[in-house]
């Protein structure tokens, strides 16, 4: 049984630890900083078995070399990005078992935020990095709207009960933007209230459930008339295709 634990880092990053308590082993996803990972391993008496990377940004990779120096473990990461320390380059449709944990993962290419961004999919769990966030999606630093739209489509096709383990606690800002897009979506209003309450208690809002993303994340809802109408009103243009709605939503969010 793999348990997944959040390690908060920096202002709003989450480093994820996939833990097998019986074997006292853990794999870490996107360690932007080594120190909080070492602290978490020490506190629970765990040994590191692998490092997993979704994309090259420093807030997801900055701790790799320091961790590697202390723990000589395999490092899985995107084949098409340059991440120091990666020993096991991955691309879709690769699949592998996380060493020690016996946790099967498969790889999806999800370009858009970065050009070689990958997502890691387990049974019932998705490590989405900065591609899909709770209530939103990553900025398009290296990719086109068309690429990101296709990437999000792959992730949205995962089962409704999939837990989404994303790279940042951006949920409140995302849901407030979503509420501007869809002020009349009752599921969204409810989710925003729940997220506000969780943050007031100092609790993470993630992982989310894919069902909640389908119901409230505007970037997965670009085919719906209400979302299209809002994006058309904001952009002052007719948006015939969901991908055009997506591109307008992304620009709207970037400017808000």
Query: Would you count residue 168 as binding Zn ion (CB under 5 A)?
Result: no
Query: Would you count residue 57 as binding Zn ion (CB under 5 A)?
Result: yes
**Considering only residues 124-143, where is the footprint of Fe ion by CB under 5 A?**
130
The set of catalytic residues is 55, 57, 59-60, 113, 130, 168
Query: Would you count residue 20 as binding Fe ion (CB under 5 A)?
Result: no
> Which among 19-27, 163-171, 230-238, 248-256 is the span making contact with Fe ion, rule CB under 5 A?
163-171
- Considering beta carbons, is residue 28 or 244 the nearer one to Fe ion? 28
- Considering beta carbons, is residue 2 or 13 the nearer one to Fe ion? 13
> Which among 14-22, 73-81, 123-131, 239-247 is the span making contact with Zn ion, rule CB under 5 A?
123-131
- Considering beta carbons, is residue 57 or 228 the nearer one to Zn ion? 57
Query: Would you count residue 182 as binding Fe ion (CB under 5 A)?
Result: no
Q: Which one among 20, 33, 81, 130 touches Zn ion, defined by CB under 5 A?
A: 130
Query: Would you count residue 228 as binding Zn ion (CB under 5 A)?
Result: no
3-state secondary structure the chain: CCEEEEEEECCCEEEEEEEECCCCEEEEECCCCCHHHHHHHHHHCCEEEEEECCCCCHHHHCCHHHHHHHCCCCEEEECCCCCCCCCEEECCCCEEEECCCCEEEEEEECCCCCCCCEEEEECCEEEEECCEECCEECCCCCCCHHHHHHHHHHHHCCCCCCEEEECECCHHHHHHHHHHHCCCCHHHHHHHHHHHHHHHCCCCCCCEEHHHHHHHCHHHCCCCHHHHHHHHHHHCCCCCCHHHHHHHHHHHHHHC
Q: Which one among 33, 59, 81, 182 touches Fe ion, defined by CB under 5 A?
A: 59
Query: Would you count residue 117 as binding Zn ion (CB under 5 A)?
Result: no
> Which residues contact Zn ion (rule: CB under 5 A)?
57, 130
């Amino acid at each position: 049984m793999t348990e997944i634990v959040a390690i908060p880092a920096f202002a709003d990053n989450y480093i994820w630890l996939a833990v097998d308590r019986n074997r006292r082993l853990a794999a870490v996803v996107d360690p932007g900083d080594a120190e909080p990972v070492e602290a978490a391993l020490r506190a629970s008496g765990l040994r590191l078995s692998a490092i997993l990377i979704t994309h090259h940004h420093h807030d997801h990779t900055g701790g790799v070399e320091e961790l590697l120096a202390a723990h000589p473990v395999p490092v899985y990461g995107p084949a098409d990005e340059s991440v120091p320390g990666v020993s096991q380059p991955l691309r879709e449709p690769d699949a592998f078992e996380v060493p020690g944990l016996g946790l099967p993962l498969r790889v999806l290419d999800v370009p858009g935020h970065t050009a070689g961004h990958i997502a890691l999919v387990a049974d019932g769990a998705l490590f989405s990095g900065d591609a899909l966030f709770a209530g939103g999606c990553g900025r398009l630093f290296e990719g086109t709207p068309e690429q990101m739209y296709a990437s999000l489509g792959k992730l949205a096709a995962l089962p409704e009960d999939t837990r989404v383990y994303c790279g940042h606690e951006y949920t409140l800002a995302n849901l407030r933007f979503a509420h501007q897009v869809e002020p009349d979506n009752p599921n969204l209003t409810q989710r925003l209230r729940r997220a506000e309450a969780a943050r007031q208690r100092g609790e993470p809002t993630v992982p989310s459930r894919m069902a909640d993303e389908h119901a409230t994340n505007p970037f997965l809802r670009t085919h719906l008339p209400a979302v299209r109408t809002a994006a058309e009103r904001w952009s002052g243009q007719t948006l015939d295709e969901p991908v055009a709605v997506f591109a307008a939503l992304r620009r709207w969010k970037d400017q808000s």
